[in-house]
Amino acid sequence: MSVVFQIVIATFISGVLGTGLGGLVGSFAKKDSSRVVSLFLSFAGGVMLSIVCFDLVAESLDPSGNESKLYLVLTILGLFLGYGVVFLLNRLIDNRTNHEVVHIDKNHPATADDLGELIHSDHYTHHKETDGNRREMFIAGIIMACAIALHNLPEGIVIGVSYAGGGSIGDRAGLIMAVIIGLHNIPEGMAVSVPLISGGMERWRAAALTALSGTPTIIGALIGFGIGGLGASALSLSLSFAAGAMLYVVFGELIPESILMWRSKLPAFAVLVGIIVGLIVIYV
């Protein structure tokens, strides 16, 4: 089995099936399930933090087994680039959509405070309820797909560069990353399916669309594997870029939204549980 084929299979299971499983769970959840989803999103944020802090950044600082200040510079640069690119793309999507959704005004929190805003399904629902034309509905659907892809693409890059850094098909690094990200994708799948169903979409269609939303993970993995295989410097930069992108998702979206959805101390505890679960999977 070639490495590329193994990456495609691993990311299909992690991205498509993991997200799809979350979508299936979400399709049977009650509409008023904000507390449960809040805990799951916090947990996912904790798992992601484990990946970033205990694997990606550590590997980025020493990708060749030889410590060098060059890798420190590349890591810092990659973190800023990854965070900045995803921030700017999210800002672009928000500026395109938020002014069209009635309840989002100057008094609204700077981040999403419900699941519909996280994936911009509220924008899609707005056009649907106001009898938008086909072009408006199509654009709203594309925007929603882009918002979801911004979450899944860097996760795929993580898996791809993990395989590139492993150097062999039997290396555990890429598979471990696929398992951890698969765990994280389950609550993200819920975050996709719940607002779609609340907006009137059939359960089976919402679950299928949620599973399909995991396909950018495969694309990201192939990109990450290709870049990471160019050498130690490229591996360091791609690892830190993915880490920066994931840090934006965690601190700019998942954790703030989980707290806004349920103002409680429990989401913070769920983050801790996610960090510990990530640690166990990485090091055991």
Give CA angle at 224 (222, 230), nearest 5°.
110
| pLDDT, position 31 | 57
| pLDDT, position 22 | 85
Q: What is the DSSP string of 133-174?
A: -HHHHHHHHHHHHHHHHHHHHHHHHHHHHHHHHH-STT-HHH
Residues ≥6 apart with Cβ < 8 Å to 159:
7, 10, 11, 14, 174, 177, 178, 181, 217, 220, 221, 224
Contact 97, 139 (CB under 8 A): no
| pLDDT, position 155 | 85
| pLDDT, position 104 | 81
| Exposure of 239 in the CB half-sphere (CA atoms within 13 A) | 37
Note the pTM of the prediction, 2 decimals: 0.83
Q: What is the pLDDT of residues 80-108, one digit of tens each?
A: 999 999 999 888 988 888 888 877 878 88
The low-confidence residues of the chain, meaning pLDDT below 50, are 167-170
| pLDDT, position 166 | 58
| pLDDT, position 1 | 60
| pLDDT, position 32 | 56
Residue whose entry in the numeric block shows the structure tokens 């939303």:
213
Runs of H (alpha helix) within 17-111? 18-27, 34-51, 57-61, 69-97
Domain ranges of the chain: 3-283
